[in-house]
Structure 1
Amino acid sequence: MQYANAYDETKRLALEILSKGDVVVKLYEEASKQLKMAVILTERQEFVKTFNCIAKCQKIISSLNLSLDMQYPISIELNELYGFIYEKLGEANVNRDVKLMNDLLSLINDLKDSFKEANKINSASTPRRL
């Protein structure tokens, strides 16, 4: 029990020191992981577990959407894209559509890679504070 508490505390502290860009990338990574797992579970016909994975992925997409600062044009476009992804995740879940899940996985991974690159560029141009 003591080890579990130490692990949770370490995980919490690690998240606290991440930049906003790093947090966004981590959210995309988790969404990707959940959707990959949903594909595997669908193929195994473990539909309750599939449902849970896709629900987690939808929750992450909603969190990303809620974090947008709508004063920027890119945020308006991302808002529409997140809405599309959320809706299609629900459709893939109901229809147990592995092809749609894989298409959405590809889209999420492309977004993750784009944010990862943008974060890298931003980190290189921003001086570090100690």
Structure 2
Amino acid sequence: MQYANAYQESKRYAIESLSKGEVVIKLFEEAEKQVKMGIILIEKESFAKAYNCIAKAQKIITSLNLSLDMQYPISIELNQMYSFIFEKLGEANSSRDIQLLRSLLALIVDLKDSFKEAEKISSPSKSRGL
């Protein structure tokens, strides 16, 4: 039991030490993982598990959307993008549309990569290991 508590504590500390940009990247990585798992599970006809994975991805997208600071023009665009992804994930989930899920996965990966690049630019000393 002590090991489980130590693991949870170290995991909590690792998350708390991340920058806001790094947290956003981690959320995109988790959404990507959930959509990939959803695709695999649909292909294996494990529909209930696939549904849950895609629903988790929707929750992550909602969290990202709720974290936006709407005083910036980019936030308005991201809000529209996140709303679109959320809606289409729901559509793909109910229809078990693997092709739509793959398209959404590509969009999620593109957004993740964009945020990774922005994080590198915003903290150049960190990316060089300084």
- The bucket for the TM-score relative to the shorter chain is over 0.9
Distance in 1 between residues matched to 2:99 and 2:20, nearest whole Å: 32
Task: Tell me the CA shift for residue 25 of structure 1.
Answer: 0.3
What amino acid does structure 2 have at the position aligned with 1:55?
A
Task: Tell me the CA shift for residue 125 of structure 1.
Answer: 6.7
What residue in structure 1 maps to residue 39 of structure 2? 39
What residue in structure 1 maps to residue 48 of structure 2? 48
Distance in 1 between residues matched to 2:11 and 2:34, nearest whole Å: 19
Distance in 2 between residues matched to 1:15 and 1:96, nearest whole Å: 33
TM-score by length of 2: 0.94
What residue in structure 1 maps to residue 22 of structure 2? 22
Does residue 5 of structure 2 align to residue 5 of structure 1?
A: yes
Task: Tell me the CA shift for residue 110 of structure 1.
Answer: 0.1
Q: Which 4+ runs in 1 deviate beyond 2 A?
A: none
Distance in 1 between residues matched to 2:4 and 2:110, nearest whole Å: 34
Task: Tell me the CA shift for residue 41 of structure 1.
Answer: 0.3
* Partner secondary structure for residue 45 of structure 1: coil
Taking the TM superposition and a 5 Å limit, the aligned residue runs for 1:1-130 are 1-124=1-124
Gaps in structure 2 of 5+ consecutive residues: none
Distance 1:49 1:62, change over 3 A: same
